[in-house]
Structure 1
Amino acid sequence: MAEDAYTIVNVHYQGLFTPTPLIYFDGVKASVPQTVVKKTNFDDFIPFLEKLTNGRCRDVYYCPHEVMLSEGLHAIQNNCDFNEFLEDMNKKKRLDVYVDHHHEPLFDWIR
């Protein structure tokens, strides 16, 4: 079995971000093998997440696993962001994807 089959993307949804410290609180987590995510492109990724989470994914972010959100949070808003996400996914064994259902000003909170 390929090594990336063991690489996991944890999708966190139905939770809330809190500003101090920046955390994702009271969410649900679904783990997806990297091989599944690699089969998508940016145009398919949001619909994939919406199907996985049974809801609208307004804003999507990712962060390397075990890195504080305030230090490693990245938005996935376009093809360029998605390609960076894929590159980071190739370097890490785990990435966490966060769905922000409430369009919070996360990067303002980090500053």
Structure 2
Amino acid sequence: MASSPNPTDQNFIVVDFHYNGQFAPNPLVYFDPNRASVRDVDFSGFGYEQFMEFLHKLTKSRSKDIYFCLPQESLGVGIHTLVNNGDYIGIFGFGVC
């Protein structure tokens, strides 16, 4: 994730999605993913379920496990699983409960 493309609109952030790749250990890396950057979606109106539906439409597939890593952390240290609305709010700092 990165900062807003328009500094006056804090609801719009850049989110980079990497999917359909494979994890490999030592050090932990994610090989050969498809990638998509989303710049024009207001994620503040989403909750976990709406976000999961958005991912389904973006990737044209349903994923069993969704992982996230904040940009200031290495993958091996900062990887987390997104499993509920609490995680979603924790990532983006907002959400619909």
Residue in 2 that maps onto 1:7: 13
Residue in 2 that maps onto 1:92: none
TM-score by structure 1 length? 0.68
Higher relative contact order (CA 8 A, sep 6+): 1
2:69 pairs with 1:77: no
Code of the aligned partner of 1:86: F
From 15, 23, 36, the equivalent of 2:29 is 23
Comparing both structures, which one devotes a greater share of its residues to helix?
Answer: 1
Code of the aligned partner of 1:26: D
Structure 1, unmatched stretches of 5+, are 89-111
TM-score by structure 2 length? 0.76
Code of the aligned partner of 1:22: L
Code of the aligned partner of 1:79: N
Comparing both structures, which one devotes a greater share of its residues to strand?
Answer: 1
Q: State the identity as a percent.
A: 34
Are residues 35 and 48 of structure 1, via their aligned partners in 2, closer, same or farther at CA, if it must alter by over 3 Å? closer
Matched length: 88
2:68 pairs with 1:47: no
SS at match of 2:35: strand
Aligned-residue CA RMSD (Å): 2.2
Structure 2, unmatched stretches of 5+, are 1-5
